[in-house]
């Protein structure tokens, strides 16, 4: 009951009458909306987003802002590393130059690939945050009962500004 009161005070839509709150088949606890049992961690996570192999943990209600900060810091470090690798390259068109700089050149190319991946992840998550949806809800909306039976496309969306404010503040 305390969780329901907290959900109502935040302006989060409650489960419609047709949607029953379900009991987790593994933990046997009553799951609130947006919660999911993670098969890898073996526990239920409130406002489950995804299980991240990079941090070996679930991203959910309590650590999602920290995950966004992690991606931001990782992007800054990769950009700095790319700058350092690029500044170390002194381009000359000779076989001897390539033999001496192949490690630095390969490092730069690897940093560019990782930077692209991290940037895409960060942009994707910022988009989902601005819509007040999770990765799990975005990918599996057709299987989630409270989204499948909802007349709204996303019943949790409260506008970009309010979504970002509630997430970051």
Active site residues: 52
Q: Three-state SS for 163?
A: helix
Backbone φ and ψ of 93, nearest 5°:
-100, 80
Distance, in Å, from the CA atom of 46 to the CA atom of 20, rounded to the nearest integer, reads 17
* Backbone conformation region of residue 159, classed left if phi is above 0, alpha if psi is from -120 to 50, else beta: left
SS3 call for 49: coil
CA neighbours within 13 Å on the CB side: how many for 97?
8
Positive or negative torsion for Cα 83, 88, 94, 96: negative
* Euclidean distance between CA atoms 69 and 73, whole angstroms: 6
């Amino acid at each position: 009951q305390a969780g329901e009161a907290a959900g109502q005070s935040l302006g989060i839509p409650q489960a419609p009458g047709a949607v029953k709150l379900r009991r987790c088949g593994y933990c046997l606890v009553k799951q609130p909306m947006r919660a999911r049992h993670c098969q890898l961690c073996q526990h239920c996570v409130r406002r489950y987003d995804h299980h991240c192999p990079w941090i070996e943990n679930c991203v959910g209600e309590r650590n999602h802002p920290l995950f966004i900060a992690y991606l931001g810091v990782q992007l800054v470090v990769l950009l700095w590393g790319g700058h350092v690798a690029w500044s170390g390259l002194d381009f000359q068109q000779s076989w001897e130059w390539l033999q001496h700089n192949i490690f630095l050149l390969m490092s730069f190319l690897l940093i560019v690939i990782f930077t692209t991946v991290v940037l895409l992840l960060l942009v994707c998550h910022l988009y989902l945050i601005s819509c007040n949806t999770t990765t799990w809800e975005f990918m599996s909306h057709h299987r989630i009962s409270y989204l499948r039976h909802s007349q709204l496309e996303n019943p949790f969306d409260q506008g970009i500004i309010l979504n970002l404010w509630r997430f970051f503040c």
